[in-house]
Structure 1
Amino acid sequence: MMLAISTLLAVPTNAAFGVGRTGWYVMGGLVAGAAVLEGVAVRVGLARRGPSVGTTVYYWLRWALAFCLAWINPLFAFYAAMGYFGAGRFLLPRLVKPGLAASAVILAGSQAGGLPPENAAQWALFGALLAINLGLVAAMFHLDTKEYERTRAQVATIAELEGANKALQEALDENAQLHSQLLVQAREAGISDERRRLAAEIHDTIAQGLTGIIAQLQVVANTDDPRLSREHLDRAADLARHSLGEARRSVHNLAPAALDDATLAEALKKTVAEWSARTGVRADFTVTGTAEPLHEEIEASLLRIAEEALSNAARHAAATRLGVTLSFMAGQVTLDVRDDGRGFDPLAVPARSGGGGFGLDGMRARAERLAGGVTVESEEGGGTAISAHVPLVRHDQ
């Protein structure tokens, strides 16, 4: 394109630059040679190959043709200007600066009126213009180098980002697999925990009820007093009906029937009174702090813990007095069950295998499921104190 433009400009201006017949012939031959060179370069795709020996030869052949044509007619400087734009693509790295300087010589000569300069003034003008062109070339080369470095940095950054994205995707895939495994483990743990909870519920309802019935029937078997027998048979029947209701309710939702129409404090007070009437042991119930309606699971767990503690006291303590205290404190609810019975060594009580859900283990498991705990203080002949504490979670939370 630039060769054609330069030729179109040179043909009508040859006379103005004193180009004779011989110059016309030489110019025609050089233009034809340049056209053939450009056609070969396009055909073999030199511009797409990158710097090599072949592209370097092409660049210097083009420069030589442009120099000769500009010597004949300075307007071929348009063709010579292509040297500025092709140096980085065609020349080997060590020859880029010399190639740019050589192209600047052609441009400066054309700007000074043609090559060679005819007098000292033209030589001075040529020198000044060459210095200006070399300065511009140096500035453009510097900017081009910076742009090239910035491009390389961007390419490196993009490569790093691609690597980071790949690593992130691998991490996400690994996390997805771990999540699936955790879901399976959580499901299995939930099934196991639910089984333990069901076992504890059965123990706290049917087993305790049957224990009470057996105790009442043993009294009947060991007495000849019809009135006393009738009294204990009635208690056994009441216990059987109560246990049956609890069993049915446990099948439905595992919630204590005592909490259906009563608060935790009311249910505990009733449970303690019934236990006292059934065992003949004096039992007191006390509430401290401001009583609040608690979350259903909190109330059910504390009631079951109290029932288990009372059942243990009835079977083992041989107490004459028992006290139950429900305490509402800042962020915590505490249930204390104390008796003056024979006591025991807590360290000597064997834990059920598998962390079972009965007795002291069952009470601890219930409290720990609610981020709470159970402590036991006892000594032989000194009574027993069981304290359960759980977070205070209100009904509407």
Structure 2
Amino acid sequence: MNIEGELQRRFFLWGPYALLTLATGITLFTVDELMTRAELYATGPAVAAAVVLHLWAGHTGACLTDGKPAQARAYYLIRTPLAFVLTYLNPFYSIYAVLGYFDTGHYQLGLRWGRMSLLATAVTMAYGQSAGHWPLFAALFVLHASLTLVFEHLGKKADEDREAKAATILALEDANARLEQALSENAALHEQLVLQAREAGVSDERRRLAAEIHDTIAQALTGVVTQLQAASDTQDRHSARAHIDRATALARSGLGEARRSVRNLSPAALEHDDLPEALEKTVALWSQQATTRADFTLTGTVSPLHDEIQATLLRIAQEALTNTAKHAHATRVGVTLSYMGDEITLDVRDDGRGFDPLAEKPIGFGLTGMRARAERLAGTVDIESEPGYGTAVSARVPLVHHA
């Protein structure tokens, strides 16, 4: 068994005990604030039932991927409602209920029952996190259910891709074996070239998926968390409702972008608009959500651009604005798109706190991802900043017209 498989086996065997123990420990410190006496008395038998269930699952192997399918399904279908009961008694038992997201695919529940089980876990998690606040519960359930279905679809697509690649690799290996017999003197060189091509393809696909997930799903989730936090902090019902509506819209937008990432399509903002219109709307929406003044300026003669050029510049602008919202503490932001003969430039400037580009290493995927996107189009991204004097991000790419 490889290291990954052994770690997975240990998690399924011992993880439930760890999460149950952690949730119970936190519960003991929140009894007076969150639980009635009846709920406290009911929690003991429920926890004992969970321990007995896991003892049985560990003894029979029902909690492991190589266990008997019938026992594994019984284990999962008992644990899921038990986790909901515990979360109902104390919201912190949602720490234990999160197990339902990790191991659904291993118990061969089938498509229908698998999705129902995932949605049941989503209900449990949303209830535990909303603390009885029903509008917040509805928004959190939409978020959890959307992410559940998105990642189920992504996982299924990844499995299909792995199977297709495995079949392709087997076919290539068979062809290589026959070729080796005829060209034995070139076998070593041929094998090396095939391996390099395969690794290059995998590496390029990983970079593309990393960039898409960071620029779409991660940014949408950041916005959702911000809006839900604002909703939970305000006492005004109308203001809370507005924040929840924005969170729901962001969740739906993230879901759409995730589907487009799977199909390798252009950003949603470019579906009906050209780059200048999409950038203007993006800046306006960001300004509204960040409550920071942001202006968009267009210079030069507008001409149709290649789809990849438009998508790249829009993603760079979105990432630059996201970084500004997270780190800059700016009061004003300017975004300028300039058509300059044989190249097009995008400048994003703010009057925030700035930083020293030479002293500070880039955090996360943002700056690295922007440069990688521009370099794929033979372009560049330059960062100018100084502590206390704001930041300027300038992207330049060749102006390639739409075919």
Find the counterpart in structure 1 of residue 374 from structure 2. Answer: 367
Q: Matches of 1:336 and 1:385 in 2, distance apart?
A: 7
Q: Matches of 2:242 and 2:260 in 1, distance apart?
A: 27
Over aligned residue pairs, what C-alpha RMSD do you find?
A: 2.3
Structure 1 letter corresponding to 2:205: E
1:345 alignment partner, SS class: coil
Find the counterpart in structure 1 of residue 295 from structure 2. Answer: 284
Find the counterpart in structure 1 of residue 396 from structure 2. Answer: 389
Question: 1:267 and 1:174, CA in 2 relative to 1: closer, same or farther beyond 3 A?
Answer: farther
Listed one character per residue, the Cα deviations across residues 305-335 of structure 1 (whole Å, up to 9, x for unaligned) are 1110111111111111111111111211111
Find the counterpart in structure 1 of residue 311 from structure 2. Answer: 300
TM (norm. structure 2) is: 0.52
Cα pair 1:313 1:339 within 8 Å, conserved: yes
| Aligned counterparts, 1:267-346, within 5 A | 267-346=278-357
Question: 1:222 and 1:184, CA in 2 relative to 1: closer, same or farther beyond 3 A?
Answer: same
Question: 1:384 and 1:184, CA in 2 relative to 1: closer, same or farther beyond 3 A?
Answer: same
Structure 1 letter corresponding to 2:373: R
Moved segments of 4+, more than 3 Å: 173-184
Cα pair 1:201 1:254 within 8 Å, conserved: no
Cα pair 1:220 1:229 within 8 Å, conserved: yes
Q: Does structure 1 residue 201 correspond to structure 2 residue 195?
A: no
Q: Matches of 2:307 and 2:390 in 1, distance apart?
A: 31
Q: Does structure 1 residue 242 correspond to structure 2 residue 253?
A: yes
Question: 1:330 and 1:187, CA in 2 relative to 1: closer, same or farther beyond 3 A?
Answer: farther
Listed one character per residue, the Cα deviations across residues 258-303 of structure 1 (whole Å, up to 9, x for unaligned) are 1111101111111111111111111111111111111111111111
Find the counterpart in structure 1 of residue 121 from structure 2. Answer: none
Question: 1:259 and 1:180, CA in 2 relative to 1: closer, same or farther beyond 3 A?
Answer: farther
Structure 1 window deviating more from structure 2 (316-325 vs 246-255): it is 246-255
2:393 alignment partner, SS class: strand
Q: Matches of 1:280 and 1:200 in 2, distance apart?
A: 26
Q: Matches of 2:239 and 2:356 in 1, distance apart?
A: 36
Total equivalences in the alignment: 221
Question: 1:332 and 1:226, CA in 2 relative to 1: closer, same or farther beyond 3 A?
Answer: same
Pick the structure with greater CA Rg. Answer: 1
Listed one character per residue, the Cα deviations across residues 181-228 of structure 1 (whole Å, up to 9, x for unaligned) are 446424422320221111110011110001011111221222212222
1:336 alignment partner, SS class: strand
Find the counterpart in structure 1 of residue 82 from structure 2. Answer: none
Structure 1 window deviating more from structure 2 (173-182 vs 331-340): it is 173-182
- For structure 1, the 5+ residue unaligned runs are 1-172
| Aligned counterparts, 1:97-116, within 5 A | none
Find the counterpart in structure 1 of residue 243 from structure 2. Answer: 232
Listed one character per residue, the Cα deviations across residues 102-150 of structure 1 (whole Å, up to 9, x for unaligned) are xxxxxxxxxxxxxxxxxxxxxxxxxxxxxxxxxxxxxxxxxxxxxxxxx
Q: Residue 261 of structure 1 is aligned with which of 272, 290, 303?
A: 272
Structure 2 letter corresponding to 1:275: W
| Aligned counterparts, 1:1-397, within 5 A | 181-182=192-193, 184-351=195-362, 358-396=365-403
Cα displacement (A) at 1:175: 9.9
Structure 2 letter corresponding to 1:283: A
Structure 2 letter corresponding to 1:239: L
Find the counterpart in structure 1 of residue 136 from structure 2. Answer: none
Q: Matches of 2:273 and 2:310 in 1, distance apart?
A: 11
Structure 2 letter corresponding to 1:368: E
Listed one character per residue, the Cα deviations across residues 67-98 of structure 1 (whole Å, up to 9, x for unaligned) are xxxxxxxxxxxxxxxxxxxxxxxxxxxxxxxx
Structure 2 letter corresponding to 1:366: R
Question: 1:179 and 1:261, CA in 2 relative to 1: closer, same or farther beyond 3 A?
Answer: farther
1:325 alignment partner, SS class: strand
Question: 1:334 and 1:231, CA in 2 relative to 1: closer, same or farther beyond 3 A?
Answer: same
1:347 alignment partner, SS class: coil
> What percentage of aligned pairs have identical amino acids?
68
Q: Matches of 2:342 and 2:278 in 1, distance apart?
A: 21
Structure 1 letter corresponding to 2:317: A
Find the counterpart in structure 2 of residue 82 from structure 1. Answer: none
Structure 1 letter corresponding to 2:394: S
